[in-house]
């Protein structure tokens, strides 16, 4: 298999990476991300910094990587620039202190940006693989992410050959490249499970400068259990989708769902999966969590396309033991295909994502708390919400025990504009914004979604605002944030 390649320890391979290098990691979420090199890079940074030598890299990934890995690298002060998504508390703190430059990107767009050199050349890619052949065929693992483009564009490649993964994981991979404009052709995916590529990435084997052997699971822990709030939001989603189905605005065979990550999304899938009035459906998503695996086995989900299997090790092992069943029902794609606008629009995907806050006109903030501090990043939410058949956003109506309203007069930061957001759902109800003018949208959002504690304030703002097509009182549009900063609560 890899006799032709130089086998190294992770620490030896880390020495191939220099200060200032643009480094690219495989994977999507912790699934498929390298596991030994991040730790070794952190050790290298600490050792060099002790000798007062500089060592900070630029790091591109698929989405998040393991929080442990991102935290270790951040704590070792090993990263000066990071894109396109993260979920690690120590890294987040450094970004918000201005110590790491972070670039928040639509996940579907990263591959083409790299292909066209928007970020400069990639010095070295670190790629987790289940196998690599002397001819340069690289078989990926549980998360595909941007690994294909990183493998092709990087000047040098380090392979983490992880024996933890089943060699059969390759049966789920469907790797295809989009080509360069203006000669791009259509991606011929007409059904969720269509396969259009190969099970491996072909590269020049001479680029592989090291192979590091590992036997390590993905750093994935299960999300918490269902709680009453998540269940209430999920029931409102269920009620809305059933209404659409009965009105024939969703066809009788249903449409593929995309579901973000977290407790609300898990609750939604469980509730939809249990309802016999909702026909078995497909997932055209970016991440598959445990709830999807359970519903596949119950045949409530027929098939699933995504960029990663973001499931804890026990669930991944279960999948590996039942590959005859799962390999026919799951396709793992590069993120420029799992999140591809053309395909999302063609398949009529129903997008279900969680946001931090929404304003009364339907703009959504997914990324920056009070407009200032980064939470995680836009991730794939924009890829799906902008192009979906039905763009649904969900959130609890309040945060921090009611000190924060997630419905505000004017969003402090906008990731998704009123033109993309079609439906907002909280535990109180559903604001169906389709066909509504701005003032009608405001009335629907305040009346159906805002917490009762905040409704009078929001109606008052709407009435007080300078009237035009949209009503705003620019002198007071951000009063709730100022109250929060000065008094610890949005309502004084
Ligand atoms: O804080 O952890 O201190 O309690 O934000 O909020 O309600 O637990 O929800 O875990 O689903 O995360 C938008 C961040 C929601 C996520 C976001 C506080 C709240 C809590 C987390 P605590 P919840 P979730 C697929 C699609 C963007 C990327 C995306 C996200 C913490 O869904 O990152 O959609 N989305 N990707 O108390 C201040 C507010 C707040 C607030 C909530 N208005 N102001 N704090 N919180 N609302 C995945 C990929 O792309 C890979």
| pLDDT tens column, 392-405 | 999 999 999 999 99
Tally of structural domains, the chain: 2
Residue 153 shares a structural domain with residue 245: no
The CA 49 to ligand 1 mean position distance, Å, reads 34
CB burial readout 143-158, b (16+ within 10 A) else e = bbbbbbbbbbbbebbb
| Structural domain contains residue 470 | yes
Residue 286 shares a structural domain with residue 173: no
Q: Is 365 annotated as belonging to a binding site?
A: no
Residue 195 shares a structural domain with residue 165: yes
Mean pLDDT, the chain, rounded, equals 96
pLDDT value of position 180: 76
The CA 413 to ligand 1 mean position distance, Å, reads 14
Please indicate whether residue 286 is annotated as part of the active site: yes
Residue 240 shares a structural domain with residue 383: yes
> Which CATH number goes with the domain that contains 29?
3.40.1080.10
Name the token pair of 41. Answer: 């890079």
CA angle 222, 343, 289 (to 5 degrees): 5
Nearest CA to ligand 1 atom 42: 356
Residues in the ligand 1 pocket, defined by CB under 6 Å: 29, 63, 107, 260-262, 264, 286-287, 353-357, 366, 369, 375-376, 378-381, 396, 399-400, 404, 406
The answer, yes or no, to whether the previous bond of 84 is cis (omega within 30 of 0) is: yes
Residue 232 shares a structural domain with residue 334: yes
CA angle 358, 360, 363 (to 5 degrees): 45
CB 93 within 8 A of CB 48: no
pLDDT-derived band at 432 (thresholds 50, 70, 90) equals very high
Last-in-domain residue among 158, 192, 214: 214
Q: State what percent of residues in the chain have pLDDT above 70.
A: 99
Note down the domain range covering 334: 228-487
Average pLDDT over residues 42-66: 97
pLDDT value of position 184: 84
Residue 363 shares a structural domain with residue 403: yes
**Three state DSSP letters for the chain:** CCCCCCECCHHHHHCCCCCCCEEEECEECCECCCCCHHHHHHHHHHHHHHCCCCCCEEEECCCCCCHHHHHHHHHCCCEEEEECCCCCHHHHHHHHCCCCEECCCCHHHHHHHHHCCCCCCCCEEEEEECEECCCCEEECCCECECHHHHHHHCCEEEEEEECCCCHHHHHHECECCCCCCCCCCCCCCCCCCCCCCECCEECCHHHEEEEEEECCCCCCCCCCCCCHHHHHHHHHHHHHHHHHHHCCCCCCCCCCEEECCCHHHHHHHHHHHHCCCCCCEEEECCEECHHHHHHHHCCCEEEEEECEECCCHHHHHHHHHCHHHHCCCEEECEHHHHCCHHHHHHHCCEEEEECCEEECCCCEECCEECCCEECCCCCCHHHHHHHCCEEEEECCCEEHHHCEECEECCCCCCCECCCCCCEEECCCCEEECCCCCHHHHHHHHHHHCCCHHHHHHHHHHHHHCECCCCCECCCCCCHHHHHHHHHCCCCC
| Structural domain contains residue 4 | no
pLDDT value of position 222: 76
Residue 259 shares a structural domain with residue 406: yes
pLDDT tops 80 at residue 365 = yes
The CA 400 to ligand 1 mean position distance, Å, reads 12
Indicate the pTM of the whole model.
0.96
Residue 240 shares a structural domain with residue 97: no
The model's pLDDT over 369-385, given as tens digits with 9 standing for 90+, comes to 999 999 999 999 999 99
Strand 257-259 and strand 350-354: the pairing is parallel
Closest atom of ligand 1 to CA, residue 357: 43
What count of residues does the chain have?
A: 492
Q: Is 380 annotated as belonging to a binding site?
A: yes
CB 125 within 8 A of CB 157: yes
pLDDT-derived band at 181 (thresholds 50, 70, 90) equals confident
Residue 476 shares a structural domain with residue 429: yes
pLDDT value of position 301: 98
Closest atom of ligand 1 to CA, residue 395: 7
Cα–Cα dist 39/270, whole Å = 36
Residue 335 shares a structural domain with residue 417: yes
Q: How far apart are the first and last CA of the chain?
A: 67
| Structural domain contains residue 399 | yes
Closest atom of ligand 1 to CA, residue 259: 25
The CA 375 to ligand 1 mean position distance, Å, reads 7
pLDDT value of position 186: 87
pLDDT value of position 35: 97
Name the token pair of 35. Answer: 């596991």
| Structural domain contains residue 222 | no
Nearest CA to ligand 1 atom 35: 366
| Structural domain contains residue 492 | no
Nearest CA to ligand 1 atom 24: 262
Residue 461 shares a structural domain with residue 425: yes
Q: State what percent of residues in the chain have pLDDT above 90.
A: 95
| Structural domain contains residue 5 | no
Closest atom of ligand 1 to CA, residue 107: 50
pLDDT tops 60 at residue 2 = no
Active-site entry in 128, 244, 286, 418: 286
| Structural domain contains residue 221 | no
pLDDT value of position 154: 98
The CA 354 to ligand 1 mean position distance, Å, reads 7
Closest atom of ligand 1 to CA, residue 375: 14
The CA 352 to ligand 1 mean position distance, Å, reads 14
Q: Which of 261, 263, 490 to mutate to test the pocket of ligand 1 (most atoms within 8 A of CB)?
A: 261
Average pLDDT over residues 296-300: 98
Nearest CA to ligand 1 atom 3: 400
Q: Which of 400, 424, 425 to mutate to test the pocket of ligand 1 (most atoms within 8 A of CB)?
A: 400
Residue 321 shares a structural domain with residue 201: no
pLDDT-derived band at 183 (thresholds 50, 70, 90) equals confident
pLDDT value of position 3: 57
Average pLDDT over residues 91-114: 97
Nearest CA to ligand 1 atom 50: 379
| Structural domain contains residue 117 | yes
């Amino acid at each position: 298999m890899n006799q032709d390649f130089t086998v190294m320890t992770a620490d030896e391979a880390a020495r191939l990476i220099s200060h200032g290098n643009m480094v690219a990691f495989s994977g999507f979420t912790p699934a498929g991300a390298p596991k030994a090199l991040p730790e070794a890079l952190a050790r290298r940074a600490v050792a060099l910094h002790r000798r007062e030598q500089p060592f900070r890299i630029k790091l591109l990934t698929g989405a998040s990587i393991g929080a442990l890995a991102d935290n270790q690298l951040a704590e070792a002060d090993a990263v000066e620039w990071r894109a396109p998504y993260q979920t690690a508390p120590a890294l987040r703190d450094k970004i918000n202190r201005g110590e790491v430059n972070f670039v928040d990107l639509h996940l579907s767009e990263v591959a083409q940006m790299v292909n066209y050199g928007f970020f400069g050349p990639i010095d070295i890619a670190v790629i987790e693989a289940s196998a690599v052949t002397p001819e340069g065929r690289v078989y990926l693992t549980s998360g595909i992410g941007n690994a294909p483009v990183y493998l092709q564009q990087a000047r040098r490649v380090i392979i983490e050959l992880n024996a933890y993964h089943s060699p059969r994981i390759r049966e789920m991979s469907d790797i295809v490249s989009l080509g360069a404009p203006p000669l791009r052709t259509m991606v011929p995916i007409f059904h969720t499970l269509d396969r259009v590529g190969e099970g491996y990435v072909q590269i020049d084997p001479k680029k592989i400068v090291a192979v590091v052997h590992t036997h390590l699971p993905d750093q994935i822990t299960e999300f918490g259990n269902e709680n009453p709030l998540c269940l209430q939001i999920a029931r409102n989603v269920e009620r809305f989708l059933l209404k659409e189905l009965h009105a024939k605005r969703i066809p009788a065979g249903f449409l593929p769902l995309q579901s973000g990550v977290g407790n609300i999304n898990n609750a939604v899938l469980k509730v939809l999966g249990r309802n016999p009035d909702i026909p078995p459906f497909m997932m055209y998503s970016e991440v598959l969590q445990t709830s999807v695996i359970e519903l596949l086995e119950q045949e409530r989900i027929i098939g699933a396309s995504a960029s990663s299997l973001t499931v804890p090790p026990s669930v991944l092992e279960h999948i590996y033991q039942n590959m005859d069943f799962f390999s026919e029902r799951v396709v793992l794609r590069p993120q420029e295909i799992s999140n591809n606008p053309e395909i999302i629009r063609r398949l009529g995907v129903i997008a279900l994502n969680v946001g931090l806050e929404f304003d009364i006109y339907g703009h959504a903030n997914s990324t920056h708390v009070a407009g200032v501090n980064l939470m995680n990043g836009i991730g794939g939410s924009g890829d799906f919400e902008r192009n979906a058949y039905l763009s649904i956003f969900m959130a609890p109506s309040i945060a921090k025990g009611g000190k924060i309203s997630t419905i505000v007069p004017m969003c402090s930061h906008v990731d998704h504009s009123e033109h993309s957001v079609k439906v907002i759902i909280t535990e109180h109800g559903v604001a169906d914004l389709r066909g509504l003018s701005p003032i009608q949208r405001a009335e629907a959002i305040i009346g159906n979604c805002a917490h009762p504690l905040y409704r009078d304030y929001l109606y008052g703002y709407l009435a007080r605002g300078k009237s035009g097509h949209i009503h705003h009182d620019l002198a007071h549009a951000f009063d709730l944030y100022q109250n929060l900063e000065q008094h610890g609560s949005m309502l004084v």
